[in-house]
Amino acid sequence: MKSLTVQLTVCLGLLSLNGFYSCNNPGVKEIAVKDTLVFERMLGTWKNNRQQNFERWTKTSDSSYQSDVFSVTRNDTSFEERAAVFMENGKWVFQAIVNNQNEQQPIKFTADTVGKATITFSNSSHDFPTAIGYRLRNSDTLAAFISGPNKKGGLDTLKFLYVRRKS
């Protein structure tokens, strides 16, 4: 009986230390804040200068975001893509639904790199694109790209340059 009491005391002590460490370790909190910085800086509506295309980033919770891509022609707004960005198994996921593609099923891309001004996602099993990326050039300019294989065996990359819309 004494052995069981000692084992329980040790287990409870270790659990308490683990809980204390996770809740009070500033390093744990800093990693989470650092990882969301690029998304926090992307919040808002961005306009593609070549076309009447827009990308709007919103925060849906402390650790998830949403991107809506739409175009405006005269007074008509057409939504082209909706993406949810969230953590899954310790990695950021970009899950997109694109109008008239993939039978309206969501496609997941997993983050490869995350920085304070850049993030790239990939999904090598998807036909096109296999990579998606964003880079904040400054607080008002967002560069984005999608890339993937073409039918000739090469790589196609589509680039988009957005300027932040002022409220």
pLDDT reported for residue 61: 95
143 in a domain, yes or no?
Answer: yes
Q: What angle do CA 117, 121, 127 make, to 5 degrees?
A: 145
Q: How many domains does the chain have?
A: 1
33 in a domain, yes or no?
Answer: no
1 in a domain, yes or no?
Answer: no
pLDDT reported for residue 20: 36
61 in a domain, yes or no?
Answer: yes
Q: Label residue 35 by pLDDT band (50, 70, 90).
A: confident
List the one residue out of 80, 74, 76, 56 whose CA is nearest residue 164: 56
What does the pLDDT look like over 47-106, one tens digit per residue?
998 788 999 999 999 999 999 999 998 889 999 999 999 999 999 999 999 999 999 999
82 in a domain, yes or no?
Answer: yes
5 in a domain, yes or no?
Answer: no
47 in a domain, yes or no?
Answer: yes
Domain that holds residue 59: 38-164
The secondary structure of the chain in percent helix, strand, coil, rounded to multiples of 5, reads 25, 50, 25
Higher-scoring residue by pLDDT: 119, 26: 119
Which CATH number characterizes residue 139's domain? Answer: 2.40.128.20
The two beta strands, 64-73 and 118-122, are unpaired
Q: Let me know how many helices (H) and strands (E) the chain has, helices first.
A: 2, 10
Share of the chain above pLDDT 90, in %: 70
Cα separation, 62 vs 14, whole angstroms: 29
* Chain mean pLDDT for the chain: 84
